Amino acid sequence: MLLVLGSFLTACEVIPEGEQNKVIFTPVDSSAVKRTSLLIEYSGWQCVNCPTAAEEAHRLKEQYGENLVVVVMHPESNSNTRYGNNQAVNYTCPEADSIYIMMEGTKTTSFPTGNVNMTKNDEEIYFTDDDEWGKYVSKAYATPKSIFLSNEASLIDTDVIFVAVDITNMDTKNLDATLQVWLTEDSVIGSQKKPEGTDKNYAHNHLMRASISPIWGDKLILDAQATTQMTYEYPLPEKVKKENCNIVSLISVDGEVIQAYESKITLE
């Protein structure tokens, strides 16, 4: 797909709202852009059935490839994530907890559970059992959106992440949208309870580590048939391994994620 997206900005700072870099592009057939969905998998190391849900998320990821972004959240407000004074089993982050509470999660909400595109399901609740994730991902995939989204990330001085996100609005009308940018990590080896006992060498993947943007995102006006670029700097958390980290960017309209994108951090 050919788009005239323009070059990345060289300034290492967030571009203030209203002053984002915008580039007019050559109109293309918006139907050529596939919708990429967000699957939030709510999990906890003390949830014995959560590894089964992780397998379902992996199956869907293999089915949809780059058209599905999986983010695993361990919200501290749920009893399945409790860790006491043992930081070795603390996979929580404040932003994950805030999103969980917004979705009306409680200490006793049954895990495993999940959410597709941060919207309510057919039962008008946010939480969906893992055996129905595929239904909602398929439904979203069948409704393409006229947004092309991408991001690139690199390190500055070895411990600061620089992220540039390009959002192209291929529609003929301006669009009010929200951009969220998250940091996730794969291959976090630690404990996970299973029906047969505790696996101390379990690989936690897609684990949410932080929100690089404000937690509820940056409000944007996406000009018709133009590309808007936003840039961010974020200090790399000490507990993460940079080679295992991913940057996830999300564009939402009226609270629904309409496009998602995931990329690794460039280390060279």
User: Using one digit for the tens of pLDDT, what is the confidence trace for 174-225?
Assistant: 999 999 999 999 999 999 999 999 999 999 999 999 999 999 999 999 999 9
- Helix, strand, coil: what percent of the chain each, to 5? 20, 40, 40
Q: What is the pTM of this model?
A: 0.90
User: What average pLDDT does the structure give for the chain?
Assistant: 90
Query: So where are the chain's domains?
Result: 21-266
Span 70-83, mean pLDDT? 97
- Assigned CATH class of 21-266: mainly beta
Span 79-92, mean pLDDT? 94
**pLDDT attached to residue 67:** 96
Determine the Cα–Cα distance for residues 61 and 55; give it in Å rounded to an integer. 10
Determine the Cα–Cα distance for residues 21 and 64; give it in Å rounded to an integer. 31
Least confident segment among 9-13, 129-133, 135-139: 9-13
**pLDDT attached to residue 45:** 97
